């Protein structure tokens, strides 16, 4: 991996850390910008380097840095009731890459990855808490569908604007802002 690609992965991992700290309490949970950060990273860097960024982010949290929502860290965050969503982020990377490559649409890849996050997170929550499938969807997915769709559109829009600059950095070309 070239130094400039490592730098982009590091910057996107840092962005994911910041996005997790942007949190708004909702009646059923916490609305964070993590989803935006994950899919912006994937749309900007692609599946391969996006997965590296997401993995670095998760590793930072496992190592004890308070980078998950509400300042959580450690294995407890990955194995707690909402840990399935964090695992879903890493699972979304190959799904995003496959669907966006097949459909030639970053947004389609983003929606496919988001569906996997929802599936992983709600199944995990259901198994962890003993809640039924319907209750799990009602608590962990339904309140977040519209905000997450808005975050996907925002990620697609921003990545489209920034992609020429990121591509020139990845390709080793000089750019001027």
Contact 57, 13 (CB under 8 A): yes
Q: Mean pLDDT over residues 115-136, rounded?
A: 95
Delimit the domains of the chain by residue range. 3-170
DSSP symbol at 67: -
Residue 10 CA to residue 72 CA, distance in Å, equals: 20
Contact 74, 91 (CB under 8 A): no
Which tens digit of pLDDT belongs to each residue from 6-59?
999 999 999 999 999 999 988 777 899 999 999 999 999 999 999 999 999 999
DSSP symbol at 38: H
Tell me, which fold does domain 3-170 have in CATH? Arp2/3 complex 21 kDa subunit ARPC3 (1.10.1760)
**Is residue 86 pLDDT above 70, yes or no?**
yes
């Amino acid at each position: 991996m070239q130094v400039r690609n490592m730098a982009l992965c590091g910057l996107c991992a840092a962005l994911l850390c910041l996005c997790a700290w942007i949190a708004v309490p909702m009646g059923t949970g916490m609305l964070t910008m993590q989803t935006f950060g994950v899919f912006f990273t994937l749309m900007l860097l692609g599946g391969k380097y996006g997965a590296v960024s997401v993995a670095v982010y998760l590793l930072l949290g496992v190592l004890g840095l308070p980078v998950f929502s509400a300042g959580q860290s450690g294995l407890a965050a990955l194995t707690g009731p909402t840990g399935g969503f964090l695992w879903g982020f890493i699972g979304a990377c190959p799904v995003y890459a496959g669907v966006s490559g097949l459909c030639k649409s970053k947004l389609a890849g983003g929606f496919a990855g988001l569906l996997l996050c929802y599936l992983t997170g709600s199944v995990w929550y259901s198994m962890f808490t003993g809640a039924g499938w319907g209750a799990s969807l009602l608590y962990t997915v339904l309140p977040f569908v519209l905000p997450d769709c808005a975050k996907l559109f925002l990620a697609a829009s921003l990545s489209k604007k920034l992609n020429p600059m990121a591509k020139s950095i990845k390709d080793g070309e000089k750019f001027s802002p």
